[in-house]
Structure 1
Amino acid sequence: MELLPAGPGHPAVVAGWPASAAEVALWCGRDEFPVSARTVAAWQQEDGVRAFVLVEGERTVAYGELWLDDEEDEAELARLVVAPEARGRGVGRALVRALLAGAVDAGFDDVFLRVRPENAPALRCYHAAGFRPVAPGLAREWNAAQPVDHVWLRAGE
């Protein structure tokens, strides 16, 4: 598998992966279902966002973003999703590790991600990739600004 920058054809592919409104909420926290290719493409234009796809042969099997914050000197892995037919094969873990390596290569030692507490498959994936919960007080502080509570994880904790 190879991590590549997302290209112009990827938003339409990625937008088609979630099968329900509940899956969209777990993936990206949106009420929109289905998520439009235009929405995914717009995310990629946001300041500090670098979008990537994981490819296996000719197939795109996963998507994720690095949110790079030079001011805070930290990075966040975000909007991670695996193609339905590729789930359960370690693709998510490979995506997380590749994005983490990209963040470290870009000079960020502090790398976080957030996940909804009910997303058990994602939590297992992130733990297997070496992410651990942040201190409870820090999680409460960060959740105060969120519309829903998340489990906040840090690489290498």
Structure 2
Amino acid sequence: MKKLFLTLLVSLGFISSLSAQELDFIAVATQGKFNENSLGVKALSDEEMSKVVGRLYQIGGHVITPTLVSKYYIVEKSDLNYDSRLIQEATSKLHYGEALAYVKRYYQSQVEWTWLAGYNLYTKEFREIPFSASMQSFQFIDSQYKYSHY
């Protein structure tokens, strides 16, 4: 949810600041708590940016019982290793206004099941993508994140 909010906020910032000289993304992302001049903040070079590895951002959850919980994570292009074949396969399954989500179902704190879903950016609802386990994009994401602690 934070990632979605940040994306929307940054998009609005771009639109409203077309005439502005420079936008401080860090200040926007942290709601002014930090800025690009804060201690420990470092601007990455293009080479360093190319080495940044994606990670999952939780955008929702659903408690079914105290021991059965589903968590939803947004999937970005970096999570698919910027592989155009995987990205095309995954996005071809989405409906208009949806982002790709990776879902983990936990039973007694252990990952029991994983699948892909479409996350509607407007209604904030999830839609299971049928047969996602057979998709190469799912298999790639699952191999990266199934047992990670996100």
Same fold (TM over 0.5): no
* Higher RCO, Cα 8 Å, sep 6+: 1
TM-score normalised by the chain length of structure 1: 0.29
TM-score w.r.t. length of structure 2: 0.30
